[in-house]
Structure 1
Amino acid sequence: MTQTRTGQSFTGTDYQRLARELVDPDVWDFIEGGAEAERTVAANLAAFDRVRLRPRVLAGVSEVDTSVELFGTRYATPLGVAPTAYHRLVDAEGEVATARGAGAAGALFVVGMFASRTLEEIAEASSSELWIQLYWLRRRDVMAALLRRAERCGYGAVMLTVDVPRMGRRWRDMRNGFAIGGDVAAVNIDAGVMASAHERAAGGSALVRHTAQQFDAGVTWDDLAWLRAQTRLPLVLKGILTAEDARLAVRHGADAIVVSNHGGRQLDGAVASLDVLAEVADAAGGRPVLFDGGVRRGVDALAALALGARMVLLGRPPLWGLAAGGADGVAGLLRTTTEELAHAMALAGRPTLGDLDRSVVRMSTIAGGA
């Protein structure tokens, strides 16, 4: 557990509880909600309930090393901040505070395309590596301009989210008539492109309407050649859930893959990310595999790392930390989870990340089973 600025010790669950008390209910539903019946949200969490660990003993664990290298950068932790939008919905400083917190923890921060602070402000605040995340817009000129700005600011890679040809049916947002309000906006995108994200209508989500208007649902694997031609940055594809797509990603020039079902926010009933991690890792042709989906504590991260992930990205939890304590909360959440991971590595008899392999994990057929 880590000390927050209030002087109390907090676990991830504590940050979640505090954030819920502080965040507006419709924003909370936007953060926590998933698609339709939210079965995949539940499946991501339940998958970790089926993990059983096989600890080794007398392994010499007086020192535990959680550091990891990716694309030539070494991080203090294999836990990174996944791309999420509009951090100013939960904290006045938004992504600037997230960047400071991630930097304090020595963690990667993947900045969302719909960030509510400028790429330049975020870069100035960061002391750790930043990547830029993109969706595929109809306006390719907007994508290209963002890439040029990210390169000038020193961002280290581009992460293309590939699982949103249209937005999932998120009933919480639709029932709330959710729209991005107040002075919060995706400030790195032309206001005209983002206008419909701010237009509230009863019984519908402004973000669904915005996605339908602005995202290009006709994109295919062949279009990746255009994106590769726009940037020298490594290309990471986020949203891969099958070996078939992993092989296609490698064939079309992906430098890394993120196993992800978008936190259960897209296709409801999609497989839990953890259940396909080994399959995708086997098909990735040696490319680094990252992971997100349901990680809530360090022992969850250990399981994902053992099953083939090089790095584990956290989506909702850093937003809990941000809402509860700004930059200190983000740093505290990441440090707490890294401390939990190091503790689990020691007890499992694996003092380095290189010692983690599939022999660590046994998957039960039922939650709580042996």
Structure 2
Amino acid sequence: MASRQPTLSIDLKAVQENLAVIRSMVGPAVDVSAVVKSDAYGLGLERMVGPLFEVGCKSFFVADLGEAERLRRKLSRVDIVVLSGIRRSDADAYRSRRFIAVCSSPVEVSVANSAEVAYAMNLETGFGRLGLRFDEVRTIVHSDLAPPAFVMSHLACADDPESRRNGLQRDRFIGMCEMLAPAIPRSLVASAGVSLGADYHFDRVRIGSALYGLNNAGLDPNPFVPVVRLSAWLIDVRQVHRGESVGYMGTFRAERPTRLGIVAIGYRHGLAWLVANRLVAEFGGYLAPVVGRVSMEYCAIDLTDIPAALARAGGRVDFISPTRPVEWMARSASTVAQELLVRIGGGCSRRYHMQFGAPS
């Protein structure tokens, strides 16, 4: 084998299909923006934006000015919204590159106005993070400032459709927007919030997780197409006697004669340390539990129940697949799927397809 590097396969056609799913959920009157921050959730900003642009996506949200510059080099005719705000030292870049600054404080609003930079106003409606408070919006209303391109906020509990905080934040958002010019476009929800219904969609939704196949709201049936597959090489197979331990601190002890597979993937590649003795991988159509602690570059799987003729070094082991999506691993790791995508995408070799089985 030429390389032992684990591979994250990314289906670009599936990303396009997930954009179409969101459009069908919100209807033609609502704009859908793609969130490609944090290197498109670890999947590669430059490779994500082209296929999305091909199917009509014309506005993108990025984390910072560096990502905005990368995106502008790829696409010259799209709106690029920068979530990190604006500083005076960056004003020339925003203006010349036609970036839209998300302003979360009166100072940022003032900077954008004095530099004649297009901006969005981020409102704090109960998330407890960044955003203009009610009193700050009231002060801005009575100042001589250019209106924002749009107004936005973010729901704290969109993953839970039963949470009363969703309605509370929506009502606060409406009230703060009414203080501004009524015609200014509004944007409240990201991926999970789309399923809350038309009362939350307003003029624009901002979609990240759903594009990449994540079903944050737990919709059943899941309308989103799987986007990623994580696989790694099985590099060795060995026998372990009953009673022997495996890995650091011996957290797994064989209760029977065990056929053990050593796989070239570890926490260096983004495989969460906490999945030890909890995650189940796939090998040759069979399930293979991860046993013992995950180490920096390797982990072990139990191949005992897999036919001996199949359990040979040189095969590929799937840790994320269409049948066992990112959410499965996230539950085993006691984290969220977004974190795993960012970590795995940054630690593994990425391979792109227009559908699984057709590399590009």
Q: TM-score per shorter chain, which class?
A: 0.3 to 0.5
**Which structure shows the higher strand fraction?**
2
- Structure whose alpha-carbon radius of gyration is higher: 2
- The TM-score with structure 1 as length reference comes to 0.40
Q: Which has the higher contact order (CA 8 A, sep 6+)?
A: 1
Q: TM-score, normalised by structure 2?
A: 0.40
Q: Tell me which protein shows more helix as a share of its residues.
A: 1
